[in-house]
Amino acid sequence: MFSVRASFAAGAAFACAAAVFVIAPAPLRAQAPAVEETPDSIPDFPGREETFYLCVACHSFRVVGRQGMSRERWNQTLDFMTEKHSMAKLEGDDRKQVLDYLEKAYPQEAPRAPGGWVNPFAPK
What's the pLDDT at 67?
87
Could you tell me if 100 and 49 lie in one domain?
Answer: yes
Could you tell me if 59 and 14 lie in one domain?
Answer: no
Cβ–Cβ < 8 Å for 67, 111: no
What's the pLDDT at 106?
92
Listed as ranges, residues in the chain with pLDDT below 50 are 8, 20-21, 26, 28-29
What's the pLDDT at 101?
97
Do the domain assignments include residue 116?
A: no
What's the pLDDT at 116?
59
Going 102 to 33 to 115 to 73, the CA torsion angle's sign is: negative
How many other CB atoms sit within 10 Å of the CB of residue 51?
Answer: 23
pTM to 2 decimal places: 0.62
Do the domain assignments include residue 124?
A: no
Could you tell me if 20 and 73 lie in one domain?
Answer: no
Nearest alpha carbon to residue 45 among 93, 96, 97, 111: 97
Domain hosting residue 26, numbered range? 1-31
Do the domain assignments include residue 44?
A: yes
What's the pLDDT at 108?
87
Could you tell me if 13 and 49 lie in one domain?
Answer: no
Could you tell me if 9 and 65 lie in one domain?
Answer: no
Could you tell me if 99 and 45 lie in one domain?
Answer: yes
What's the pLDDT at 29?
46
Could you tell me if 24 and 44 lie in one domain?
Answer: no
Cβ–Cβ < 8 Å for 88, 82: yes
